[in-house]
Amino acid sequence: MSVGSFVFMLHSHLPYYRKAGMWPFGEESVYECIAESYIPLLNAIGDLWDEGIAAKLTVGITPVLAEQLSDEHFKKGFDKFIADKIEAAQKDEKLYSLKGETPNPNHLHLARFYSNLFQNLKRDWNERWNRDLIAGFKRFQDLGAIEVATSAATHGFSPLLETDSSLFAQYKVGVETYKRHFGRAPKGFWLPECAYRPAQGKRPPLEKWLHELGLEYFFTESFVIKGGKSAEMRNIIGPYGNIEYIPAAPRPETGLDTFEAFWLKEYPVAVMGRHEEAGYLVWSADQGFPGDGNYREFHKKDD
């Protein structure tokens, strides 16, 4: 007996880092994500395809991220980043070897692990994906293995945009940017921060603009679907739990859940809610594995 539907959605966004410094808040964030997320993800999708298996993922790529991944400036920057990583790991191999200045078999094992990892990433970057990750995602979408969703132009927080013209412009530029990179119109849309705004006075609900732009479905927060006490009632903004704010009032429970998609009548677009518990397990520092000491989300840099 069916109890619901499952959509495996991997949403990805990075702020605009171009020539905005390097570390800890700058271009290196893009290079780390290329090495630790985007190349491994494409490798996994490609490996499955080679075995005759379509990954059947939805991958959200925001316009800001797509522009950066396609920018030759970032491609050259990643060339240097991965070369520096290989050089550092190889120096550690010499340092911790039996004939090195600080022999340590455990550290040597770790240095070799990363030396091999970074060299493999460099090979895949150059040979498997030809330094063009967006082309890789486009290829698998064209093959039917994945579907790529878009988002607002600058990841603007929709409910706080003052005018509907600003809102429509954000969404339209997101759609047009997607067409330029992927050669087709998008079907799906990830609301920035999953933030939804219903109709307010003379202002229509957000889905009006999504429908007018030809989008077929969008993703929002679980609270929008379920009502009741939201995650925001924890008095924090963001999954990392480091910014306090005044919480929103509870909404009446709707009796709906995030195990199904819902079709909106006035503007025929489907809506799916992010599953709150699953989302926090993979994202929250308090409730999920990113906060565990064995997980390197909150890592330190050895200068």
**Domains in the chain, CATH or no CATH each:** 9-71+133-290 (3.20.110.10)
pLDDT of residue 293: 76
Interstrand relation of 262-263 and 270-273 (parallel, antiparallel or unpaired): antiparallel
pLDDT band at 244; cut points 50, 70, 90: low
The structure tokens 């390097």 sit at: 22
The structure tokens 């030396």 sit at: 115
Interstrand relation of 236-237 and 243-244 (parallel, antiparallel or unpaired): antiparallel
Q: Which amino acid is at 131?
A: R
pLDDT beyond 50 at 240? no
How much is the mean pLDDT over the chain? 89
pLDDT band at 134; cut points 50, 70, 90: very high
pLDDT band at 233; cut points 50, 70, 90: very low
pLDDT of residue 7: 86
The whole-angstrom separation of Cα 156 and Cα 197 is 13
Mean pLDDT of the 176-201 span: 96
CB-based contact 152:178 (threshold 8 Å): no
pLDDT band at 119; cut points 50, 70, 90: very high
pLDDT beyond 70 at 19? yes
pLDDT beyond 50 at 236? no
Beta-strand ranges (E) seen in the chain are 9-12, 57-61, 146-151, 188-190, 217-220, 236-237, 243-244, 262-263, 270-273
pLDDT beyond 60 at 241? no
pLDDT of residue 300: 58
Specify burial of residue 272 (Cβ count, 10 A radius: 0-12, 13-18, 19+): buried
The whole-angstrom separation of Cα 41 and Cα 38 is 5
pLDDT beyond 50 at 98? yes
pLDDT beyond 70 at 287? yes
Q: What percent of the chain has pLDDT over 70?
A: 89
The structure tokens 């808040």 sit at: 25
pLDDT beyond 80 at 9? yes
pLDDT beyond 50 at 288? yes
pLDDT of residue 255: 82
pLDDT of residue 302: 59
pLDDT band at 133; cut points 50, 70, 90: very high
Mean pLDDT of the 257-264 span: 88
pLDDT band at 80; cut points 50, 70, 90: very high
DSSP character for 200?
B
Q: Which residue has the higher pLDDT, 188 or 248?
A: 188
pLDDT of residue 234: 47
pLDDT of residue 171: 98
pTM, to two decimals:
0.89
